[in-house]
């Protein structure tokens, strides 16, 4: 049995990474997880300059998951390159840097700064509000997605994963736009926009009013979108959204994902990724799958 997967020319030792923003840059989880065991570590989002994020409260619990409006707080690319990349380089795992921005120039500045850094892939978070398009997220407009992808591809030295937002009417249109712009892979889903009201204080649970819903509650939606995207494009897909067990991850792979990311589940079980990896291995043995690739999209 061989758990290796090849994502856009990069070989991971197994198909499991962590979802951006739920694992820091690995350091706070290293007590619970041997990072050498992960297929890849996906970092929290990083922008060209430090972002302070949204006012608090910015997380809330909801049935079957959580809601967050962190607002992509991050230290900026300079400190990130000095501190987080050297930390991750100590481990035998692939490094995926998640990139955010408010305008194409901001994304491009980060991608350019990463050109000579020893990272393996980059994941572009297009759920960020686009200041030039009335704060609609980049990822909600197929034209913007294709254009931004093409601009990034012109300067990126590492393979580019475009991370799609589920807050759209037709995910296949956006997946195809990323492919047309030259994306090496896509990942999905980011969080679904939600709202929670504190009925006793008669106010919003989050200072931002709305927040992104994640966790098991969103899993069936994520499986459906991964399946639809897999029918629409030929580039590899990294599937995520509510994965909390090996069974959830296997479902995503059978729907068409070549690899998976575990997000919110890390908060209640910091070692969950290891259980997911082991469980996928056991499933492959049980059903006689020699490679992960044989499982990808096996349900049509």
Ligand X SMILES: Cc1cc2nc3c(=O)[nH]c(=O)nc-3n(C[C@H](O)[C@H](O)[C@H](O)COP(=O)(O)O)c2cc1C
Instruction: Give the binding site for ligand X (CB under 6 A).
Output: 19-22, 44-45, 66, 68, 70, 72, 98, 125, 163, 190-191, 214-215, 218, 240-243, 262-264
Assess contact for 284 and 253: CB atoms under 8 A: no
CB of 245 to ligand X, least distance (A): 11
Of 64 and 294, which has the nearer Cβ to ligand X? 64
Residue 237 assigned as binding residue: no
Measured N-to-C along each axis, helices 77-89 and 104-113 cross at an angle, to the nearest 10 degrees, of 40
CB of 248 to ligand X, least distance (A): 9
Name the catalytic one among 60, 128, 225, 243: 128
CB of 172 to ligand X, least distance (A): 19
Q: What angle do CA 181, 292, 121 make, to 5 degrees?
A: 40
Residue 241 assigned as binding residue: yes
The DSSP code sequence of 191-239 is PEEEE-EETTTTEESSTTSEEEEESGGGHHHHHHHHHHHHHH-SS-EEE
- Indicate the helix (H) or strand (E) that contains 278: helix 272-287
Q: What per-residue string of b and e applies to 190-229 under the rule 16 or more CB within 10 Å gives b?
A: bbbbbebeeeeeeebbbebeebbbbbbbbbebbbebbbbb
Residue 191 assigned as binding residue: yes
Of 60 and 296, which has the nearer Cβ to ligand X? 60
CB of 190 to ligand X, least distance (A): 4
Residue 48 assigned as binding residue: no
CB of 57 to ligand X, least distance (A): 13
- For the question of residue 81 being annotated catalytic, the response is no
Of 21 and 101, which has the nearer Cβ to ligand X? 21
Q: Which residue is nearest to ligand X (CB)?
A: 21
CA dihedral 9, 88, 37, 238 (to 10 degrees): -40
Of 258 and 289, which has the nearer Cβ to ligand X? 258
Of 156 and 289, which has the nearer Cβ to ligand X? 156
Residue 264 assigned as binding residue: yes
Q: Give the residue carrying structure tokens 């809330």.
A: 60
Residue 64 assigned as binding residue: no
Assess contact for 297 and 53: CB atoms under 8 A: no
Residues 6+ apart with CB under 8 A from 32: 270, 271
Three-state secondary structure call for residue 179: helix
Distance CA 99, CA 82 (A): 16
Residue stretches of the annotated binding site for substrate:
44, 68-72, 125, 190-191
Positions at the binding site: 20, 44-45, 68-72, 98, 125, 163, 189-191, 215, 241-242, 263-264
Give me the active site residues, please: 128
């Amino acid at each position: 049995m061989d758990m290796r997967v090849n994502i856009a020319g990069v070989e991971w030792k197994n198909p499991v990474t962590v979802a951006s923003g739920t694992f820091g840059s690995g350091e706070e989880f290293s007590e619970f997880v041997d990072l050498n065991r992960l297929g890849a570590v996906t970092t929290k989002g990083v922008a060209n300059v430090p972002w302070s994020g949204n006012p608090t409260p910015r997380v809330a619990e909801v049935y079957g998951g959580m809601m967050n409006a962190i607002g992509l707080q991050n230290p900026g690319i300079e400190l990130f390159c000095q501190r987080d990349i050297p930390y991750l380089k100590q481990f035998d795992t692939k490094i995926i840097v998640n990139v955010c921005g408010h305008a194409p120039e901001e994304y491009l500045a980060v991608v350019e700064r990463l050109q000579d850094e020893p990272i393996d892939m980059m994941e572009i978070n297009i759920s960020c509000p686009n200041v030039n398009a009335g704060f609609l997220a980049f990822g909600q407009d197929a034209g913007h997605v294709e254009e931004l992808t093409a601009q990034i591809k012109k300067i990126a030295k590492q393979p580019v994963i475009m991370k799609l937002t589920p807050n759209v009417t037709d995910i296949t249109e956006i997946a195809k736009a990323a492919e047309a712009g030259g994306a090496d892979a896509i990942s999905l889903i980011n969080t679904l926009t939600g709202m929670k009201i504190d009925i006793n204080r008669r106010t919003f649970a989050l200072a931002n009013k709305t927040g992104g819903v994640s966790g098991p509650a969103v899993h069936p939606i994520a499986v459906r979108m991964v399946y639809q995207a897999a029918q629409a494009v030929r580039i590899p897909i990294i599937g995520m959204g509510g994965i909390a067990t090996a069974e959830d991850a296997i479902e995503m792979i059978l729907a068409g994902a070549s690899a998976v990311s575990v997000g919110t589940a890390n908060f209640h079980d910091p070692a969950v990724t290891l259980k997911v990896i082991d469980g996928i291995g056991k499933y492959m043995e049980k059903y006689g799958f020699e490679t992960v690739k044989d499982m990808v999209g096996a349900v049509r």
